[in-house]
Copies of this chain bind each other. A is one copy, B any other.
Amino acid sequence: MKDRKAVYEYIEDHEAEHIARVQEYLRQPSISADGTGMSDCSQLLQEYYRELGCQEVTEVDVGGYPFVWAVYSRGAPKTIINYSMYDVQPVEGEAWSSPPFEACLQKRPPFERVIVARGAHNSKGGYRMWLNALQSILAVEGKLPVNIYFTAEGEEELGSPHLPAFIDRYLSRLQEADGVLSCIPCQQHDGGIRLTLGVKGIYEFRLECSGERWGRGPEKHDVHSSMKAIADSPVWRLIHALSTLTAPDGNRVLVEGFYDNAASPTSEDLELIRDLSSQFDSSVWQRTHDIQRWADDLSGQDLLVRFMFSPTLNIQGIWGGHTGAGSKTVLPHKGVCQIDVRLVPGMTVEEVHEKLRAHLDRHGYGDIAILPLGGYPPARTSLKTKLVQAVVQMYRDHEITPQIWPLSGGSWPMYLYCEKPLRLPYCAGGLGHGGGAHSPDEYLVIEGNGVVAGLVEAEKSYVDILYNFMDA
């Protein structure tokens, strides 16, 4: 298809119907936290895939709420995996201006029309726009430009506990694909786009120092603090052990070998960061996070390089003994520190665990337990891949210069797609805007304001991405 105009026109002509489909999907509750509507939503989504003419549509049970697997395959040269989630956050105790599962159209300045609903932005609203775009192509062209393996999960809001098992089950099919694509409304409030090419890994664990394991101090319960004169303190021990883990600044990690495998930014990364630093205003972050000065008074490119390429050893929380109001003269029998380590490319959860264990042992803290809470490795995709370029090209055609971040500071299990065994490129992109994820009055913009795209322009951008990728 050389001219996409016919599809564009179809979308324009069917705007009302497309809005109604978005509302229909949002009106079906699907709260994974308590199970509300989960089964009905899975059925509805399967019906959507059948409408597209998918050859395979099936519910997949790998534990927890089912995945939905669907295949559209009409012999196109390229195949994408389309990841989505059909569950949403709960709404309990929240004050909404219209009921969260009525998906009302509202005026919400600066926007003339938005849909207000749980899941409008995260992420069923945008997903139904994507399905609208696919149906429009089918209506005009008779078939899609790529084959699509649809994978939808119902437990994203629970932390995707069964995603690894699902991917493992469908590995041989997923390996046939050329990339993983999510077409979603990605525009920020100001119309800008942030495109992230990778994520850090994460390892979460607790360090627990107890009298019982130590064989010193109180073993089973807190004792009267007068005993401190002759009894050792597990909490003091925890503090001294922790103090060996970082430099006094609390930033530089002193665990032996911690940085050994941390990849430095490539010249491509540095070039992207250079471009980025000219657009990026760190004072916005300072206001958002209420932080006056950055670590080591970093700024500009140095700040961005550190943000993306520095592994971290962060204390999420620490507790031990009396933590309530007033005084309680006790010597606690246990202290706990909960930590997350963010891993940059090159690092693994296993090596971090082993190096930390070796560090503690070497410093005489063999009794301090490392209790893992979970983790997964980092992952990256290259800007040069055809899939990412197809997305970037769409932005350029709309005269948008995306902020391209080689790596995010945060984490999600992108490694499942981008690292062994799949090793696929991954990209999320598209015009459109929504907000209020996990909050009351979550919304999706239906009528654009010249800065962010509305439903029609968003759906067209998804069409563009698909055809760009087909042509790449």
**Chain A interfacial positions (CB closer than 8 Å to B):** 200, 202, 204, 211, 215-221, 223-233, 235-237, 239-240, 242-243, 246, 248-251, 289-295, 298, 303, 306-308, 310, 312-323, 326-333, 335, 338, 340, 342, 373-374, 408-411
Contact = CB atoms under 8 A, between A and B. Distances in A.
A224 B318 contact: no
A330 B316 contact: yes
B338 A327 contact: yes
List the 9 closest A-B pairs by CB distance, nearest first. Answer: A236-B250, A226-B409, A317-B321, A243-B243, A317-B322, A228-B314, A228-B312, A319-B323, A226-B410
Contact of A318 (B200, B313, B319): B319
Contact of A316 (B225, B307, B317, B340): B225
Given A216-B295, A316-B328, 18 more contacts: A218-B290, A219-B292, A220-B290, A223-B289, A224-B410, A225-B312, A225-B342, A228-B312, A229-B342, A230-B307, A230-B310, A231-B291, A233-B314, A236-B249, A236-B250, A315-B331, A318-B318, A319-B319
Contacts of A293: 215-216, 232
A374 B327 contact: yes
B327 A231 contact: no
A374 B326 CA distance: 10
B218 A232 contact: no
28 contacts: A204-B327, A204-B329, A211-B290, A211-B291, A216-B295, A218-B289, A219-B290, A221-B290, A224-B409, A225-B312, A225-B342, A226-B408, A226-B410, A228-B342, A229-B310, A229-B342, A230-B298, A232-B293, A233-B314, A236-B250, A236-B251, A239-B242, A242-B243, A314-B331, A318-B323, A319-B320, A319-B323, A329-B340
B332 A322 contact: no
A320 B322 contact: no
A233 B337 CA distance: 14
B338 A230 contact: no
A159 to B, nearest CB: 8
Nearest to A318: B320
A260 to B, nearest CB: 18
B410 A327 contact: no
A225 B314 contact: yes
Contacts of A248: 240
A304 to B, nearest CB: 9
Nearest to A202: B329
Given A228-B312, A291-B219, A318 B249 contact: no
A231 B374 contact: no
A373 B328 CA distance: 11
Given A317-B322, A320-B315, A294 B230 contact: yes
Contact of A317 (B243, B249, B323): B323
B289 A318 contact: no
